[in-house]
């Protein structure tokens, strides 16, 4: 008999709880797991584990909790700090998905004799006859689709990943299922912030958890003319207009940084646009290599609209040439490539 045992990541929230219910109803033997990744407030983490275990008890499921704070610090928090130290803007959820939810969790699944792993992400995996391989696709959730943050997972494990929420279009549908099945998390609020910065103040987090401290320097234009002072490079991001503390006949925006000179470089909005970028740390899901120019749609941040472009691989990097110049493309963020609703792959913007 086919092994229908699946390890499901459970946060105690409504998405993963409904995912557990749906998998159980589909005939899977569901094992819930909660990963203790980071928490200043231990009671908050205890509540998360208790909520997840309570849900598993309610549904008659096995549950395991794992303390992975050290691994999370090494793989996700240190990368976050390192990016800001090098004037890049990270997306820690992508690192967490790669190393924790689809890395460590896969090993735990194997230890527990589970043939599949699952999460409450809004994304989809299926076998494509056209491409003769398993593919990662957008879910039906429109703007809530999370395929963008999943580009870095290994293609070899796509066939063992289940996304039970793939077919739903709105969060209201998920909450309705929870309510109709007496799941007490039906009205539990979503967690929108970075899990290790719940107050959203990443500058304070960096100052308290790294060697990154306020260090005044010059704000300059592209010609090197000093037009103001900044309070530390990590306090600024490309495309930023407000909070620069400078007056100019036309609005000025952050264009980039010179870390050697400790300078923030600013310019007019027209200078924010770029037609070509390169990405590194690439992970291809749909193909093994991209040796010829290929037309794709590209997202350069989670909330961005897709833009038409051509891509080609050069060694361990991919060059992206947009049909139309794109605004405020930011190093450290991910560029994710799509053909229709299929994820081709992605990489980190240089």
Class of domain 5-180: alpha beta
pLDDT number for residue 44: 63
- Superfamily grouping for domain 273-349: Translation factors (2.40.30.10)
Nearest in space to 63 (alpha carbons), one of 106, 108, 116: 108
pLDDT, tens only, 251-279:
999 999 999 999 999 999 999 999 999 99
Q: Please determine, for residue 315, whether its predicted confidence score (pLDDT) is greater than 80.
A: yes
User: In percent, how much of the chain has pLDDT > 90?
Assistant: 89
From residue 4, alpha-carbon distances to 26, 30, 57, 154, 263 in Å are 10, 8, 20, 21, 56
Contact 117, 6 (CB under 8 A): yes
pLDDT of residue 102: 95
**CA–CA separation, 287 and 323 (whole Å):** 22
Residue 96 half-sphere exposure toward CB, CA atoms < 13 A: 20
Domain boundaries, the chain: 5-180, 214-267, 273-349
Question: Domain 214-267, CATH 2.30.30.280 — does that match?
Answer: yes
Q: What is the mean pLDDT of residues 169-195?
A: 89
Average pLDDT over residues 111-134: 97
Say how far apart CA 271 and CA 306 lie, in whole Å: 21
Region 90-94: mean pLDDT is 95
Q: What is the mean pLDDT of residues 20-43?
A: 89
Can you tell me the distance from the alpha carbon of 157 to that of 12, in angstroms, rounded to the nearest whole number? Answer: 25
Active-site annotation, residues: 96, 195
Compute the distance between CA of residue 349 and CA of residue 334 in angstroms, rounded to an integer: 6
Q: How far apart are CA 61 and CA 183, in angstroms?
A: 14
Domains 5-180 and 214-267 share a fold: no
Q: How far apart are CA 127 and CA 319, in angstroms?
A: 28
Q: At what angle do helices 171-180 and 14-25 cross, to 10 degrees?
A: 60
- Count other Cβ atoms within 10 Å, centred on residue 239: 15
pTM score, whole prediction: 0.94
Give Cα 61 distance to the centre of its chain.
Answer: 28
Mean local confidence (pLDDT), 81-97 = 96
> What pLDDT does residue 1 have?
44
Between helix 78-85 and helix 202-209 the angle, nearest 10°, is: 100
Q: Quick one: pLDDT at residue 107? A: 95
Is residue 20 very low, low, confident or very high in pLDDT (cuts 50, 70, 90)? very high
* Residue 85 in this model has a pLDDT that exceeds 90: yes
Q: What is the pLDDT of residues 199-249, one digit of tens each?
A: 889 999 999 999 999 999 999 999 999 999 999 999 999 999 999 999 899
Q: Are 19 and 8 in contact (CB under 8 A)?
A: yes
Average confidence score pLDDT of the chain = 94
Residue 170 · residue 122 · CB < 8 Å: no
* Predicted local confidence at residue 189, as pLDDT: 84
More confident residue, 277 or 50: 277
Which of 272, 262, 271, 269 minimizes the C-alpha distance to 230?
A: 262
Q: How confident is the model at residue 331 (pLDDT cuts 50, 70, 90)?
A: very high
């Amino acid at each position: 008999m086919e092994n229908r045992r699946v390890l499901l990541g459970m946060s105690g929230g409504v998405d993963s709880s409904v995912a557990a219910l749906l998998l159980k109803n589909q005939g899977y033997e569901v094992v819930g797991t909660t990963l203790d990744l980071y928490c200043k407030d231990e009671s908050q983490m205890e509540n998360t584990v208790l909520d997840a275990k309570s849900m598993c008890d309610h549904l008659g499921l096995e549950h395991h909790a794992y303390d992975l704070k050290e691994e999370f610090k090494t793989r996700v928090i240190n990368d976050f700090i390192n990016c800001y130290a090098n004037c890049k803007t990270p997306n820690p959820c992508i690192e967490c998905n790669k190393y924790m939810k689809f890395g460590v969790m896969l090993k735990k699944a194997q230890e527990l004799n589970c043939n599949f792993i699952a999460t409450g992400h809004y994304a989809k995996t299926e076998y494509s006859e056209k491409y003769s391989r398993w593919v990662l696709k957008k879910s039906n959730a429109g703007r809530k689709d999370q395929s963008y943050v999943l580009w870095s997972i290994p293609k070899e494990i796509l066939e063992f990943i289940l996304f039970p929420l793939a077919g739903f279009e709105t969060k209201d549908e998920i909450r309705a299922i929870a309510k109709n099945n007496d799941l007490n998390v039906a009205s539990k609020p979503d967690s929108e912030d970075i899990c290790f910065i719940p107050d959203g103040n990443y500058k304070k987090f960096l100052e308290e958890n790294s060697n990154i401290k306020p260090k005044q320097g010059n704000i300059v234009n592209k010609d090197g003319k000093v037009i103001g002072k900044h309070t530390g490079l990590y306090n600024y991001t490309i495309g930023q207009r407000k909070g620069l503390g400078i007056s100019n006949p036309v609005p000025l925006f952050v264009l980039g940084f010179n870390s050697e000179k400790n300078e923030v470089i600013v310019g007019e909005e027209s200078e924010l646009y770029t037609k070509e970028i390169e990405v590194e740390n690439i992970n291809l899901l749909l193909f093994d290599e991209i040796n010829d120019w290929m037309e794709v749609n590209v997202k350069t941040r989670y909330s961005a609209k897709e833009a038409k472009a051509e891509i080609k691989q050069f060694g361990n990097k991919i060059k992206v040439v947009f049909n139309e110049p794109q605004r405020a493309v930011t190093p450290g963020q991910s560029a994710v490539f799509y053909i229709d609703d299929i994820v081709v792959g992605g990489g980190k913007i240089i």
